[in-house]
Chains A and B, each alone.
Chain A
Amino acid sequence: MKPTDISAPDYFHKVVDCQWACPAHTPVPEYIRLIAEGRYSDAYMINWRSNVFPGILGRTCDRPCEPACRRGRVEDTPVAICRLKRVAADFKDDVKHRMPKPMAKNGRRIAIVGGGPASLTVARDLAPLGYHCTVFDSDPKAGGMMRTQIPKFRLPDSVIDEETDYILDLGIEFKGGHRIDSLKQLLTENFDAVFVGSGAPRGRELEIPGRKEAAANIHIGIEWLASVSFEHVSKIGKRVIVLGGGNTAMDCCRTARRLGGEDVKVVVRSGFEEMKASPWEKEDALHEDIPILNFMVPVAFIHDNGKLTGVTFQKVKAEYDAKGRRNLVPSGEADETINCDDVLVAVGQENSFPWIERDCGVEFDKWNMPKVDAKTFVSTNPKVFFGGDAAFGPKNIIWAVSHGHDAALSIHKMLSGEDITERPLPEVIVSSQKMGIHEWSYDNDVSNDKRYKVPHRDKVIALKDIRAEVELGYDVKLALGEAQRCLNCDIQTVFAAPLCIECDACVDICPMDCITFTDNGEEEDLRTRLKAPSLHPDQDLYVADGLKTGRVMVKDEDVCLHCGLCAERCPTGAWDMQKHLIDMTHAGTSCPSKARSAA
């Protein structure tokens, strides 16, 4: 194998599994260490710079970081990264004075359609650079789906208000209650760029017999959630069936439980395991006495002269073809009818662009989606950019934020006369953590604690009040315990072959048997000759040559605990523990990383 080029920013970035998995590439271990130190405001600002909505995401993020967390490969459960983010938001001091100060207006005007996470990220990145950003939203307040579709018992209004205000206070013009009905019209209004972050606002229909006749008691999930959010709806029947297995379905059933639903059931086509909903959201629903029935396909709404009485389901089973694709085929059991008073349909969301004329330069593909460049987020009209669910269909908040950052960077480069396809590398700050012979500027002792549970409000009380937040968040003590579980994967093991005397001290002390000194070979062959078996070929091997015996040092990054014992036991300092703080490049210098002191 060729020696590893550790100066390539992606190499060590990949080792920080959580940060690599995060669409916005939040420097997770860095903020977790700050939480452990009680520096909540600093931890919050790192998050704010990277993911814009720490308080909101700390409650609602889909957490792609957690399945990636190294801790999940070392023991059973990953670090509760998401809920630690909330800790930073909950315990921070007033951070208003730390927000960027807008530069003088540069005369450029940006129209931003939709007031959700992608749009607000674009505004947050561009406004401090002097751009005049105008955000249009049909709802009176900013937040988009975060405000309308996520129930208040998961995400209180106060959190949304606080974090949307940080952005709107940067001198952004917010036009609430102002729906954009024509892109053509908007393009005539002399904006220098348009960003479309209008989401995937349409709930998918379920066209089966009885749908029209019983329409009065059949509601589309996201629309119903929005009506609840705006307090247009305040009750539902006693017996409720929720159709669908995604996170919206989980929000629907739990909301129904709080609006009078006593017998609420979720019914899904697939198996329980394959449901799209996040495992923790399913858990929360089950905890609120909501059964989830699987392998049942709705075939008809049953009604009595237009009054809904139930839903009939066909029972199916999963069969897998040669290619491993799943097909749901009838199991042969009798159909089952479940009686109910109301049905909530949460079987997916769709994009909808009736307001974009097909002749204004924005081309659409055969699925009626705008043609958007996956890197720059520009459409076929060089002035029009897309992001969030509007770009590539429904995803989640953290993806929308990531799109927003990239689109803002494109807009800024375009309006600065630069090539938008050239994407700057992340900024990497490297610093040795050595303080003394056996002292490091990070806590290298590995905690053996199991994942801490987030305290919940008592169920009886929680179900009575739709605005009572269910999760209470970690207290300081629990947060500290959980923060200590982080393995500090950004503190990298850096090897200097010229200093190595091949004494094997690192090999002997490494608790995870990560390090091997052996003859070089092709990667496939090397992986068979490691001291401990290579379990995850997607995890890199760190190879260094230049040793006196002609062998190479091979380190399997897979389950390294970053405990620094290799460096402590090294007599010559050939191993060093160096922090690689990787900061993604955003538009301009809206939030220069220099503004915060190194942790």
Chain B
Amino acid sequence: MTYIAKPKFQHPGLPRNDLGFTHRDYEGKVSTLCAGCGHDSITASIIEACFELSIEPHRVAKISGIGCSSKTPDYFLGNSHGFNSVHGRMPSVLTGANLANRDLIYLGVSGDGDSASIGFGQFAHSIRRGVNMTYIVENNGVYGLTKGQFSATADRGSKSKKGLINSDSPIDLVAIALQLGASFVARSFSGDKTQLVPLIAAAIQHKGAAFIDVISPCVAFNNHAGSTKSFDYVREHNDAVNRLDVISGRDPITVDYAPGTVQLVEQHDGTRIALRKIDADYDPHDRVGAMSFLQKHAARGQIVTGLLYVDPESDDLHSHLDTVEAPLNTLDAVELCPGNAALEKINASLR
């Protein structure tokens, strides 16, 4: 952390988005995490993605649990709604909020402890229900706030700062998300913003459960030789299957890549993602293929990153439940109380 507030001055030539904001307008308070924490780069990427999408900050609800990662919503979107919930309970709070007000953009921020241990069940159910949200796990493989014990995502055989070898099998949240039916699944690295920012932007625009696992080195407890979540290790073993550009709205598409290397994916709101393939054989629409691709590469010690799966025909919990279109707080007495005739009708149907 630092003792001074980040100065208010900004670069006089900063670009402005459609709302007239610069990326500085999407910042929150100054981070209190350790200097060099990967989470701060994810924070910066969220800021950048929201800036690029010209999102009105008051249209966003950022919800988190407990942990270093769950502190970060304080550091971005200072003018958005926020809820710092109980440990591991972010998915439930988010699901509830989403059901009550479907008009907001839901940003769930969690960590490997929050989502793969205490909140593992919560994580699973929010994904399988298809809650319309962007679920970001800031994954560093350790419990940083309690001084560096292995978390449930630490790879078997990786070494702790103190020299212990992890003997437990890791939970791969990406594999679980794929298996549970997430309609947008990606993995990225906090040290690679050019990959991460468009992924977050695409996830925000995706309708349905969008899950991003971001490997985020813990500089204090998990950035040493023998760690599989250090800056050096991730850079050496990063196997990106694709890169993407988010193309907003109705801009004409001009793609100057070699034919066959770019795939356009149209999302529900009309925005398109241009996927630049790095691995020519990788098909991001093949859920089963993605799962086996992941397993194969993981066995070789490679970390697969990029947009791993996207279902362009995705749906969300509201469509499944056929809920009312309007946020609950906009419904007035007439709509909430349809009258005796309607009640009689319902009662009759149950007799």
Show the binding face of A for B, using Cβ within 8 Å: 73-75, 438-439, 444-446, 448, 501-505, 507-509, 511-514, 532-533, 535, 548-549, 559, 561, 563, 565, 568-572
Contacts and interface: CB of A to CB of B under 8 A. Distances in A.
Contact of B219 (A448, A532, A568, A571): A571
Contacts of B11: 512-514, 532-533, 559
B40 interface: yes
B17 to A, nearest CB: 15
Max count, chain A CB within 10 A of own CB: residue among B1, B10, B35: B35
Nearest to A74: B9
Contacts of A513: 10-11, 14
Contacts of A445: 4-5, 7
A569 B2 contact: yes
Interface string B280-293: 00000000000000
B13 A568 contact: no
Nearest to B231: A501
A74 B7 CA distance: 11
Max count, chain A CB within 10 A of own CB: residue among B12, B43, B44, B232: B12
A515 to B, nearest CB: 11
Nearest to B36: A571
Given A446-B7, A548-B235, A508 B35 contact: no
B217 interface: yes
Given A504-B44, A505-B36, A512 B9 contact: yes
A503 B217 CA distance: 9
Contact of B41 (A444, A504, A511, A532): A504
Contact of A503 (B1, B14, B30, B36): B36
B250 interface: no
Nearest to B24: A511
Contacts of A559: 9, 11-12
24 contacts: A74-B12, A445-B7, A448-B8, A501-B223, A503-B37, A503-B38, A503-B41, A503-B217, A503-B231, A504-B41, A504-B190, A507-B44, A508-B41, A508-B43, A509-B30, A509-B40, A511-B6, A532-B13, A532-B14, A533-B11, A561-B9, A565-B4, A569-B36, A569-B40
B235 to A, nearest CB: 7
B14 A505 contact: no
B191 interface: yes
B99 interface: no
Contact of A75 (B9, B38, B41, B217): B9
Contact of A73 (B8, B12, B37): B12
Contacts of A549: 235
Contacts, number: 102
B37 A505 contact: yes
Nearest to A534: B13
A511 B14 CA distance: 11
Contacts of A501: 36, 219, 223, 231-232
B193 interface: yes
B257 interface: no
Interface in B123-171: none
Interface of B: 1-15, 24, 30-31, 34-38, 40-41, 43-44, 190-191, 193, 217, 219, 223, 231-232, 235
Nearest to A512: B11
B240 to A, nearest CB: 14
A561 B235 CA distance: 32
Given A444-B4, A446-B4, A568-B35, 5 more contacts: A511-B24, A512-B11, A532-B11, A533-B13, A549-B235
B235 A438 contact: no
A568 B4 CA distance: 10
A439 B2 CA distance: 9
A505 B38 CA distance: 8
Given A561-B7, A568-B35, A571-B34, A505 B40 contact: yes
A274 to B, nearest CB: 26
A508 B12 contact: no
Contacts of B235: 548-549
Contacts of B37: 503, 505
A479 B40 CA distance: 38
Nearest to A532: B11
A505 B43 CA distance: 11
Contact of B191 (A503, A509, A563, A569): A503
A52 B36 CA distance: 47
Contact of A570 (B36, B191, B231): B36
A502 B4 contact: no
A446 B9 contact: yes
Contacts of B15: 533
A569 B41 CA distance: 12
Contacts of A565: 2, 4, 6
